Copies of this chain bind each other. A is one copy, B any other.
Amino acid sequence: MTPRDVRMRGFSERADVADAQAWVDGLPRPRQVVRVALASARGRVLAEDLVSPVNVPPFARAAMDGWAVRGADTFGAGESDPVSLALVGAALPGHPFPGAVGAGQAVRIMTGAPLPQGADAVLPAEQGEERAGHVLVREPVAPRRHVGEVGEDVRAGTIVLPAGRLLRPQDLGLAASVGAAELSLRAAPSVSLLITGDELVAAGTRPDAARAQIVDSNSPMLAALVERDGGRVAETRRVADGEASMRAALVGARGDIVLVSGGSSVGLEDHAPQLLATLGTLVFHGLALRPASPTGMGLLGERPVFLLPGNPVSCLCAYDLFAGRAVRARAGLPPEPPYLVRTLPLARKIVSVLGRVDYVRVRIVDAHVEPLMSRGASILSSTTEADGYVLVPKDLEGWPEGALVDVFLY
């Protein structure tokens, strides 16, 4: 095959970005559930409703410092005509008063302490005074006043956190307060990374210029993206060029989702698309998208397989727009990439081609959006210089200077 033949095999038709995203979003999402200790649950997704087996608080408690009393005993008390109650003990948080409060009695109580039996109200400290073993009540208190009731925070049997909840620090506090030690979480989808390209040496290696080596920068980037999106990398395998190695790698891949980096186009050594079509189904190959048009996707058995361009910028783009959606959905997260979106004016016009989505890396300078058009898609350093990207829709030829655009901030 000559370069000319290769070119002739170019994509005859390019699929719509939206169609490919819809296909990804329609993939089945098997819900595997794992039990995870509270301490490791932050940022993960609850798989089942968390129902409280207990009331919080499990006992009535003082909501103020003062004295536990029978409210009725204080009726009629006044500044000039105090009611005197016998002080019979004290209740502190964790140290309940062991007896009961009888008629005409009071127990000194601190906020949070269990309300002793017999008492039905807390007389706040400023409404009374202790003197010689008695409490002089200067202002009455109604029954149930200043008492936190059983189940005031959480009632037994209620759902305290619903399935699908992305767990925040305070959610873990609440889960602990109802007695949970572990939670049922959505299992992190496992992802196989198959990295092609005989010119690549493993990440962590210093490249040898004399041997024309390039370091595999896609696997550390993809691993971090997968982890960010709630997945875990099951394996990172570097696959030698050639159809046999790619076939073996695809057939032997272990993850719930398979990402192939490189060899996704229509070139001489691009075996993955044809192999996926033979071994499974190649649903999309070639997208109306720049960069990352040589992206493919399909199914191998029930596993989604994403063929990502080896070019690092395109790889990032194809991951965020397609493969990442699958990872996030299986992890129980929203499909969109977790980028903050800001609407800002363009500092310079952006020119695009009708019928194609453009993923344009940009910088934010003085609250204006500056496209970084000058550097090629193979230039990884351009994505680290970028603050984010804008997507030019397929039905636009770009935007003029000053147009308000949505920026996805990395």
Contact = CB atoms under 8 A, between A and B. Distances in A.
A42 interface: yes
Contacts of A380: 56, 153, 170, 173-174, 177
Contact of A224 (B169, B220, B227): B169
* Interface band, chain A: 35 or more
A65 B209 contact: no
A245 interface: no
Interface string A168-179: 111111111111
Identify the interface centre among A3, A39, A92, A379: most chain B CB within 10 Å of its CB. Answer: A3
Identify the interface centre among A95, A169, A410: most chain B CB within 10 Å of its CB. Answer: A169
Interface string A150-172: 00111000001100000011111
A353 interface: no
Interface string A1-44: 01110110000000000000000000000000000011100110
Interface in A268-318: 268-269, 310, 312, 316
A398 interface: no
A200 interface: yes
A224 B379 contact: no
A278 to B, nearest CB: 23
Interface in A179-232: 179-181, 197-200, 203-209, 212-225, 227-228
B227 A2 contact: no
21 contacts: A2-B125, A6-B65, A42-B228, A56-B214, A58-B207, A58-B208, A59-B212, A65-B267, A93-B199, A94-B197, A94-B199, A94-B241, A110-B269, A112-B197, A160-B384, A169-B228, A172-B224, A174-B217, A176-B215, A179-B206, A181-B203
